[in-house]
Structure 1
Amino acid sequence: MRNVVLFSLPFLLICFQLCLATNTLHFGNNISQDNSNNLVSLERKFRLGFFSLPIESGSNTENLKKYLGIWYHDLEPQTVVWVANRNNPIVDSKGVFQIAKDGNMVVADASQSYWSTNLEASSSRKRVVKLLDSGNLVLMDDDHGYLWQSFQHPTDTFLPGMKMDINLALSSWKNENDPGIGSFAFQKAQTGDPRSYRVNNQSQLYWAFDGHNSDKMFNIILDLLENSTSNSLHKYRDITIKQRSFNYDKSRLLMNSTGDIQFWRWYDIQWMNEWSRPSDVCDRHNYCGSFSSCNKNNWIPCKCLPGFRRRLSDNDHGYLGERYQGCVRKSSKQCVTAATDNNMIFIKLTNIKVGNPDQGFSSETKADCQSLCLNKCSCNAYSYKATYNDRSYFSCWIWTRQLPTLQEEQDDGRDFSILVNSSDIGNLYLLNLYFKEEYYLLLSPFNFFDLFIIYH
């Protein structure tokens, strides 16, 4: 009998630890830095506790910064999805996480507070903290709804169950050893189009995506962002569109410290990066400037569109830092409808990806779409695609403002027709070569005239 008892002791110890794990923190209790009493969600998907990072890369383990965070409970390596005191780490003190006397969740030690939910003070002693299986940390008062939740205050990670709105943003870590707010942020674009998103680098637009694009993987991510992750049907005119379900278990959207917005999924023993943007320099917003195109396969990726020339700056350079300043029309475009100007023609480019259109219409034919453009004096280009999906009900797009950089040779691109003055095109033979991509207009940083390189 003794042997049986001794054999069972390890099992009993494990069972004892499991029984101690809880998803709820009550007023008067706390979570300490030794992680002996962390919160663990009911189905043991997520854990909340303190974790450590070196003060400097390569520094010894005795010199650590302490943070309160949430990570996946059973996945290695540790994958942190939320950090409370991201800009204010604990160093050389014994901080705890608890419900303070004013009813707020706080990370504090004996002398100072490192983080607080900053809600209106309350003397209620019925408040509890719960870690849900979704990864959401919530503050409740006697089970009467959420007073505060981490899903509305994310750091760099978006989890299934969250819902992106205009006030929500993912902000990158400074670097892999510092979860403080970094340079990059992912959020909805304030364009009025609920399907448009952007990554900002500080105050500058770094990458943009519109829901009209045909990036199939991002349509899955749009469902995640909109918290629409089940089968549904959309009907437009006589067209019924089925939105397929996707398994979002153990998946996350990450705004990383180098400016990439990434979608990760867990497979068996590791995380797999299934989608990442920007995918190359041409995918960055307006990398070559207005009225230009970018080809990632070319040594010099940028060139002007047909009928345009490079824009020169005050110092006669056609670029600014890492980016080009773009192109301008060789001859000015008068604000008269192209339908009454016989000198204006359309040039068709194929497999092109471009930013948000300024206007969208439901045109029955390409000719109808072209006519809409021709009768707008401000129209620069149009694109027609007679397909519909759950993201776009428009077949005709029109651009009336300056065109941002076009991306060439995109498998998910579309046909794109730009309006130019025929006198600005010149030799039709050269124009034919352009479409065969047998010459390039270089945007040189040197004080050269527009340079054509002809390949035979």
Structure 2
Amino acid sequence: MATKTSLSAVFLFSFIAILFAIPIQAQVPTNQTFKFINQGELGGGIVEYHATYRVIQTNSHTFYTHPFGLCFYNTTPDSYILAIRAGVPKDEVRWVWDANRNHPVREKATLSLGREGNLVLGEADGTVVWQTNTANKGVTGIKLLGNGNLVLHDKNGRFIWQSFDYPTDTLLLGQSVTTNGRNKLVSRKSDTDGSDGPYSIVLDHTGFTMYLNDTGQRLIYGGWTGTDYGSTVTFDFDIMDGFDDGIAYELVLNVNQDINAPPPPPPQSHRHLLQVRPIGNAHQINLNKLNYNATYTFLRLGSDGNLKAYTYYDKVRNMKWEESFAFFSSYFIRECALPSKCGSYGYCSRGMCVGCPSPKGLLGWSKGCAAPKLGQCKSGAKASYYKVADVEHFLSPYLDGGDGPMKVGECRAKCDKDCKCLGFFYREDTSKCVLAPLLGTLIKDVNTSVGYIKYSK
């Protein structure tokens, strides 16, 4: 019979063996850990959103790889965003990634990386506002790479976490949106308010689609719809031969990167909205061609809902971030199709705001132009409308012209029954009807589309 002592020895030996069998996760070396306090001198220069900023630098890390740097910035006092900047102050600083855009922190907030490998942003009182959730996952270091990607890596250089997986409103070159992770870009509310705005561009099985959600429902207003692009869309550029043996750079979206997925058909982006230049093929969407280096370029969904690219162009004295692509522009999709082009309401022709529709006719446009204020709605009650000739709603091209065919009276009755309907648009050539829960910019259409706008007499 075994003695108690021998049993204890066997148990102790087994316990020690189990401990040695459990792999020990590597940790961040002590000299690479840090705690940065958000206080001290603020930087100046030409800064996007008229922001002030504070460069993040510790004894062990500079967090700067030209032209990218890690900073705190604010557009309103004592309200800071942890962000990556692109550019240097003398040329112009742009903000290309935000960590905590919906939850700003205050002075003396802390950014810290401990031995366990979790990058944490907290308030001065210790409240955690944002973190990478990488504790005890083998992180041994942190780097800001030359492409603007902030990474936490293991001892073999493998990325445990990267900012490229969490885009906000911007894609840097080589950065993607994916259906298996962050599948969208979301605009800011405004230059002074960096929280989530009403515009988004989303990758899903319906394509890469631009939405406006200002009424409680998502309204399509752009993008590349009607096609499945697979699980990934990546912003990048191609190099090709240019004029006089020069090099040209084509800004592109690389699509359908699933290994086993069949290629989708060519993009169907309602070509009657497009100019004559091609927009790409099944694997690529061509955005714009540049005759200068496109290495430092980012793609941004702006607070106005337009999707634009900006490229660093060092041949000019100032404002070196040049607009190098715009979805709504003279060369891609007509500018009047941007819902915000003429503010909350306005009549747009050839890219210009030319009038403010009213029950008294077309008045001169100004920023104060607004849709009529309506009284209390009673579903089914006959509403009053005023007519605006030769206009199209921004929704129409993405709804195949609307519902129908139906008579104009039936279209009107549908709007009467819907308290969210602010007006309707009727195509007399096809007898199709579009109800408008949001008006925005009305597009001049010389064909046979007529708008009927609700108002209170």
The normalised TM-score by structure 2 is 0.51
Distance 2:256 2:296 in 1: 15
Q: Which residue is equivalent to 2:35?
A: 30
What percent of counterpart residues are identical? 21
Q: Which amino acid aligns with 2:195?
A: G
What SS class does the counterpart of residue 153 from structure 2 fall into?
strand
Q: Is the 8 A contact 1:200 1:207 kept in 2?
A: yes
Matched, 1:324 2:344: no
1:146-225 superposed matches below 5 A: 146-166=159-179, 167=181, 168-191=183-206, 193=207, 196-201=208-213, 203-210=217-224, 223-224=252-253
Cα deviation for residue 139 of structure 1 reads 0.8
**Contact 1:199/1:206 (<8 A) preserved:** yes
Equivalence map 1:31-180=2 (5 Å): 31-33=36-38, 34=40, 35=55, 37=57, 43-54=65-76, 63-75=77-89, 76-92=91-107, 94-100=108-114, 102-108=116-122, 109-119=124-134, 121-122=135-136, 127-166=140-179, 167=181, 168-180=183-195
1:296 to partner: Cα distance: 4.0
Task: Count the aligned residue pairs.
Answer: 290
Specify which of 277, 298, 314 is matched with residue 252 of structure 1.
Answer: 298
Check the 8 A contact 2:203/2:209 in 1, yes or no. yes
SS of structure 2 residue aligned to 1:258: coil
Could you say if the C-alpha distance between residues 127 and 324 of structure 1 is closer, same or farther in structure 2, counting changes exceeding 3 Å?
A: farther
**Residue in structure 2 matched with residue 289 of structure 1 by the alignment:** none
2:412 aligned residue: 312
Provide, for residues 85-114 of structure 1, a one-character-per-residue CA deviation record: whole Å limited to 9, x for no partner: 22222224x122222454211112342112
C-alpha displacement of 1:211: 7.5
SS at match of 1:103: coil
Q: Give 1:169 shift.
A: 1.3
Structure 1 unaligned spans of 5+: 1-23, 55-62, 229-233, 286-293, 333-406, 410-436, 448-456
Give the drift of 1:199. 3.1
How far is the alpha carbon of 1:207 from its aligned partner? Answer: 1.9
- Determine if contact 2:56/2:72 at 8 Å carries over to the other structure: no
The question of 1:302 aligning with 2:391 is answered: yes
Look up the SS of the partner of 1:210 in the other structure: strand
- Letter in structure 2 aligned against 1:105: L
CA distance in 2, matches of 1:227, 1:72: 28
- Report if aligned partners of 2:110, 2:121 keep a CA contact under 8 Å in 1: yes
* Partner SS state of residue 249, structure 1: coil
Within the alignment, does 1:442 sit opposite 2:450 as a pair?
yes
Alpha carbons of structure 1 residues 307 and 147: separation in structure 2 relative to 1, 3 Å: closer
For the structure 1 residues 211 and 264, does the alpha-carbon distance in structure 2 shift closer, same or farther, using more than 3 Å as the test? Answer: farther
Change over 3 Å in CA distance of 1:26–1:174 after alignment to 2: farther
Give the deviation of 1:47 after TM superposition: 0.4
What is the CA deviation profile of residues 120-166 of structure 1, one whole-angstrom value per residue up to 9, with x for unaligned ones? x3175x52111001100111122341111111101111100112322
Distance (Å, rounded) in 1 between the aligned partners of 2:449 and 2:74: 53
SS in 2 for 1:89: coil
1:225–1:65 Cα change, 3 Å: farther
SS in 1 for 2:337: helix
AA in 1 matched with 2:156:
D
Residues 429 and 448, structure 2, Cα contact 8 Å, conserved in 1 = no
**Distance across 1 between alignment mates of 2:426 and 2:236:** 30
1:131–1:138 CA contact under 8 A, matched in 2 = yes
Alignment match, 2:307 = 261
Distance 1:446 1:40 in 2: 58
Compute the TM-score of the two structures, normalised by the length of structure 1.
0.51
Q: 1:314 to 1:102 in 2, by over 3 A?
A: same
* Amino acid in structure 2 at the alignment position of 1:96: T
